[in-house]
């Protein structure tokens, strides 16, 4: 009958060998993974910038087309959300009259029911 070698003795002999063999292998895998993640992150950032630039170009083209066609001015009669004809209120007419020619219009701030929902500060 062969002699019985306790498992802990096998572990004492195999552990240093495994450390020498597996450490470079694991290090290479981690290094490659980090490199791939960095490249993907860089590519995603560049793609986002390209999409943003494209959206800005399209918006500029749309504004230029509106100005060229003469649609850049506010109409006196508009269509409401359900197709009905609406006219500007007296308050809106006063705002337009108070504005100096060429001065940009300030955007209206509207409160929404879900404003700030899900955000924590």
How do the domains of the chain map onto residue ranges?
A: 16-98
Q: Work out the widest C-alpha separation in the chain, in whole angstroms.
A: 108
Which residues contact residue 77 at a Cβ distance below 8 angstroms, ignoring those fewer than 6 apart? 85, 86, 87
Burial of 88 (0-12, 13-18, 19+ CB in 10 A): middle
**How much is the pLDDT for 121?**
44
pTM value is 0.42
Structure tokens at 18: 């495994």
Q: For residue range 40-84, what is the model confidence (pLDDT) as tens digits?
A: 999 999 999 999 999 999 999 999 999 988 865 555 555 555 656
């Amino acid at each position: 009958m062969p002699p019985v070698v306790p498992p802990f003795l096998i572990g004492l002999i195999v552990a240093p060998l495994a450390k020498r063999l597996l450490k470079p292998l694991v290090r290479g895998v981690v290094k490659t993974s980090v490199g791939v993640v960095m490249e993907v992150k860089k590519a995603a950032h560049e793609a986002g910038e390209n999409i943003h630039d494209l959206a800005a170009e399209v918006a500029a083209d749309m504004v230029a087309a509106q100005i060229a066609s003469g649609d850049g001015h506010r109409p006196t009669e508009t269509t409401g959300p359900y197709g009905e004809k609406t006219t500007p209120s007296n308050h809106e007419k006063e705002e337009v009259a108070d504005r100096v020619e060429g001065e940009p219009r300030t955007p209206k701030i509207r409160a929404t029911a879900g404003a700030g929902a899900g955000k924590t500060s």
